[in-house]
Structure 1
Amino acid sequence: MVSLPQGFPAGAAIPDVVVELGEVFARAGHDLSLVGGPVRDLFLGRTSPDLDFTTDATPDQITAAVEGWADAHWDIGRAFGTIGIRRGEHTLEVTTYRSEAYDATSRKPTVQFGQSLAQDLVRRDFTVNAMALQLPSFELVDPHGGVRDLHAKVLRTPATAEESFSDDPLRMMRAARFASQLGLKVAEPVWSAMSGMAERLRIVSAERIQAELVKLICGADPRAGIDVMVETGLADIVLPEVPALKLTDDEHRRHKDVYQHSLQVMEQAAELETDSDGPVPRPDFVLRFAALMHDVGKPKTRRFESGGGVSFRHHDVVGAKLTRKRMQALKFDKESIRAVTLLVELHMRFYGYGDQGWSDSAVRRYVTDAGDQLDRLHRLTRSDVTTRNRKKATRLAHAYDDLETRISELREKEELAKIRPHLNGEQIMQILDLPPGPQVGRAYKFLLEHRMEHGPMDEEAAVALLRQWAEEQF
């Protein structure tokens, strides 16, 4: 690492490879600057995972300059002026100065190469990302007050917000993301432009929106990011089920604000994440997103009862369907969709345990239905308690403590994670002299249900049980 000169925060340093690349370009007669997030992070005391550079060199000149120095280089986005470079363990991206704009109906920018660093910086999303460190001189270029805005914790745009968001509407999502990740407050002109231009987000691809949403949810303060999305109208486009939670609050205040409750549950779930060696390492998108979405079925299931109460029967099942549909629209992978929707569907399963108690069979079903999401379900269920009634909260916490203890005891005795029927399919076919087919499936399901209900039994008893069932069925 190379330490930066006076004027930068104490201890600020950059990798040796950054200085080396600056010297390579200088020898070739080209300007080179570290730009954007890596420069911003120097002032935040963070190490940026990305190393992005901008230069006056064209893509062909970039590849010529690094020939012999780079271990490899490739056209990561030549049409956009970007060349990828690998040097040792470092992956670098160098982009020609750009000036770009989006057509009013297009998802892709019309790229034009710029002529200067100043022209490149003014087209960037926010002032905190419109700073450059010229190499190898280490001169900071900050024409739009990015350092000042970082200290003030405010998010502004280099050009007008309308111009910036017209160039790339996804920047509105980034504003919400930076509220979550960096704790920045959106400046009024930026907020106003976001509110007025939210509909333009519809032209952005679902994949790009998904990537920003994941970063927002995994930020240090996801509640702040979601609030920005909801209050500016971005959530109406991206995640309409969340602002709809506000509609469950009625003028008589007969039940809690479901929107604020959901944000609190998300916060509490994040607090229960583990270190990297634990079962739910932070930040965990699946747990946090399930917490945010767990009650989205309530607006569609709200009913006012004759006694003045409000009910939301089956909101867990309805919410799981709504969540699946939304995640599919945002092009999430199948495994993430399965995990989140399962948690939403099961988040109410625990309630009533403290009042009624569960049989061992019910505990087995709880574990089996949760499957590989049990550790997340534990945390989601505990996070779903936001009542101010301390006695009620304590009672629910003790009840869940008891449930987890019973799960541990049964798991130790019965290996709950590996619950299978007493006999497998081949044994069933051999004992009953059946060919493969639906009858074998029915027999397997019967044995599994019996195992869940009554616990393990030896093979001899299982064979007798199977024969008795088959006589009654066949």
Structure 2
Amino acid sequence: MVDAQQSMRAELDRLAPLLEPLGERFAAAGHALHLVGGPVRDAMLGRQGVDIDLTTSARPEETERLVTGWADAVWDVGRAFGTIGARKGPWQVEITTYRSEEYDPTSRKPDVAFGDDLAGDLGRRDFTVNAMAVNVADRSFEDPYGGVVDLAHGLLRTPGRPEDSFSDDPLRMMRAARFSATLGFAVAPEVVAAMTAMADRISIISAERVRDELVKLVCAPHPRRGLALLVETGLAGHVLPELPALALERDEHHRHKDVYEHTLTVLEQAIDLEHRLPGTPDFVVRFAALMHDVGKPRTRRFVDDGTVTFHHHDVVGAKMTRKRMQALRFSSAEVDAVATLVELHLRFHGYGGGEWTDSAVRRYVRDAGDQLERLHILTRADCTTRNRRKAERLRRSYDDLEARIERLSEEEELASLRPDLSGFQIMELLGIGPGREVGEAYRFLLELRMDEGPLGEDEAGRRLQEWWASRTP
């Protein structure tokens, strides 16, 4: 607790040049201004940030007037919810009027009512660890719901009854899972019980808000904790039903891995390999790890010898992934990236002991496109066998494949695989204009490039003319 107090003082000292002049403006106008929510929690945990949340007794229009002239930029897109945003140097500041909000049972948007009471404002927040505040003027600390104690115990509780909190905003149930994954905190039993009983309430929340919360959870330091909570409470059945479906019923006469547990292990192993990527956490590779086997429930077949097969689960899973991500309103680029990884995650297993031809390696690189590095990560992470010899054999095989890709890349510029002749050269050589035939010729040369590597313009031209003569009357 002493460490938390020291961390808070240090953070307030760091923020003083930003907050003290702003606090003076509000005090002169007769309004209180408090640092609130996540910044207070993070300060007590010794974490620093550049996004600052404040709450005030001032109404939005007065807040806007008070920050004008102090801030470098001001925006009011959150005015309907009582929030005015501002930028001051590197800092992003959001100042929200004391408020209370609740959902109509069939509405996706909250009805907002402004208040004049800090305790009431803190009482409407999601969890006690986010319901603490510090007065900007005198640094007095407000904690009416025991957030400090819960922070010390690593526990997520709601300020009031969890049923009331989740009824006001059902997305808070997903936030419980996200904060568990972010902070590594346990979730109070009564909160878990309310999440379980009210899981279907999440259906009134827009796909975009669910998506954003899911992204934050998947990109958290401990996503397995949050995902397991979503499955345990039944929330995953509403927002990501493909995940609980992986907990396949086991048949005593047939042998197969626990696909659900395997998937969470693959996710964790992918995270361990993220250092290979330029930016972390990487949502695409993490979500691909989470979705890579979602086609297995639909493709499971029992075999007489006691084994289970999942033929074509990669292709089926890619289609399911696209459908789910589109329903959650992900961008086309994100959908394409994740679905490509899911569809290709088994391709390596045809490599065996390195029997692939150079042509097959080129096609592997071409099909992966700009997802090649992520595919390396996913394929390596997908090895969860406890057989050390098998795991080592797979690792060496993939090391060999990567080495071959690197060698061919140096020799042939695989990253920009193109035919030896451009479209203009094709038209000039064949004496044809733009159209379908140019595309056919281009694809012929690209396949030739895949099979035999670079040929040079003269040889490619000769082979193109032979092909053209063989197909033209």
TM-score class, shorter: over 0.9
- Return the offset for 1:418: 1.3
TM-score under structure 1 normalisation?
Answer: 0.96
Residue deviations 1:47-86 (CA, integer Å, cap 9, x gap): 1342111111112222333343333433232221111223
Aligned to 1:195: 196
How many residues of Structure 1 are paired with residues of Structure 2 in the alignment? 468
Aligned partner (choices 262, 265, 284) of residue 282 of structure 2: 284
Distance 1:425 1:10 in 2: 64
Aligned to 1:447: 445
2:461 is the alignment partner of 1:463: yes
Residue deviations 1:399-434 (CA, integer Å, cap 9, x gap): 001111111111111111111112121111111112
Aligned to 2:54: 53
2:83 is the alignment partner of 1:82: yes
Read off the aligned partner of 1:135 and give its amino acid letter. V
Distance 1:251 1:308 in 2: 9
Unaligned stretches of 5+ in structure 1?
A: none
Distance 1:97 1:309 in 2: 61
Residue deviations 1:288-333 (CA, integer Å, cap 9, x gap): 0000100000000001112221111110000000001000000001
Distance 2:459 2:76 in 1: 67
Alignment of 1:38-437 (within 5 A): 38-247=39-248, 249-252=250-253, 254-274=255-275, 279-355=277-353, 357-437=355-435
Residue deviations 1:345-378 (CA, integer Å, cap 9, x gap): 0000000312461000000111111111111111
Change in Cα spacing, 1:289 to 1:280, as seen in structure 2 (3 Å) is farther
Aligned to 1:21: 22
- Return the offset for 1:6: 9.4
Distance 1:301 1:405 in 2: 34
Residue deviations 1:236-258 (CA, integer Å, cap 9, x gap): 01100010001264344611100
Distance 2:415 2:73 in 1: 46
Distance 1:69 1:438 in 2: 61
Tell me the SS of whatever aligns to 1:9.
helix
- Return the offset for 1:5: 12
TM-score under structure 2 normalisation?
Answer: 0.96
Q: Is the 8 A contact 1:265 1:383 kept in 2?
A: yes
Change in Cα spacing, 1:441 to 1:6, as seen in structure 2 (3 Å) is closer
Distance 1:334 1:432 in 2: 37
Distance 2:63 2:8 in 1: 33
Greater Cα offset, 73-82 or 416-425: 73-82
Distance 1:183 1:307 in 2: 43
Change in Cα spacing, 1:101 to 1:364, as seen in structure 2 (3 Å) is same
Distance 2:253 2:232 in 1: 23
Q: Is the 8 A contact 1:280 1:375 kept in 2?
A: no
Aligned to 1:9: 7
Read off the aligned partner of 1:243 and give its amino acid letter. P
Tell me the SS of whatever aligns to 1:321.
helix
Greater Cα offset, 458-467 or 323-332: 458-467
Q: Is the 8 A contact 1:248 1:298 kept in 2?
A: no
Q: Is the 8 A contact 1:73 1:85 kept in 2?
A: yes
- Return the offset for 1:280: 4.1
Read off the aligned partner of 2:382 and give its amino acid letter. D
Read off the aligned partner of 1:368 and give its amino acid letter. R
Q: Is the 8 A contact 2:75 2:84 kept in 1?
A: yes
Read off the aligned partner of 2:401 and give its amino acid letter. L
Q: Is the 8 A contact 2:11 2:48 kept in 1?
A: no
Residue deviations 1:436-467 (CA, integer Å, cap 9, x gap): 22122111111110110111112111111111
Read off the aligned partner of 2:443 and give its amino acid letter. K
Q: Is the 8 A contact 1:51 1:91 kept in 2?
A: yes
Change in Cα spacing, 1:432 to 1:195, as seen in structure 2 (3 Å) is same
Read off the aligned partner of 1:109 and give its amino acid letter. P
Distance 1:292 1:332 in 2: 16
- Return the offset for 1:43: 1.1
Change in Cα spacing, 1:280 to 1:255, as seen in structure 2 (3 Å) is farther
Q: Is the 8 A contact 1:59 1:78 kept in 2?
A: yes
Distance 2:215 2:439 in 1: 40
Q: Is the 8 A contact 1:249 1:258 kept in 2?
A: no
Runs of 4+ that moved beyond 4 A: none
Q: Is the 8 A contact 1:127 1:146 kept in 2?
A: yes
Greater Cα offset, 441-450 or 161-170: 441-450
Q: Is the 8 A contact 1:248 1:302 kept in 2?
A: no
CA RMSD of aligned residues (A): 1.6
Residue deviations 1:16-73 (CA, integer Å, cap 9, x gap): 2122212221121111101000000011111134211111111222233334333343
Distance 1:256 1:67 in 2: 61
Greater Cα offset, 254-263 or 74-83: 74-83
Distance 1:251 1:167 in 2: 45
Identical aligned pairs, as a percentage?
A: 60
Distance 1:451 1:5 in 2: 64
- Return the offset for 1:386: 0.2
Distance 1:55 1:10 in 2: 20
Distance 1:49 1:218 in 2: 19
Change in Cα spacing, 1:24 to 1:106, as seen in structure 2 (3 Å) is same
Distance 1:352 1:257 in 2: 23
Change in Cα spacing, 1:321 to 1:6, as seen in structure 2 (3 Å) is closer
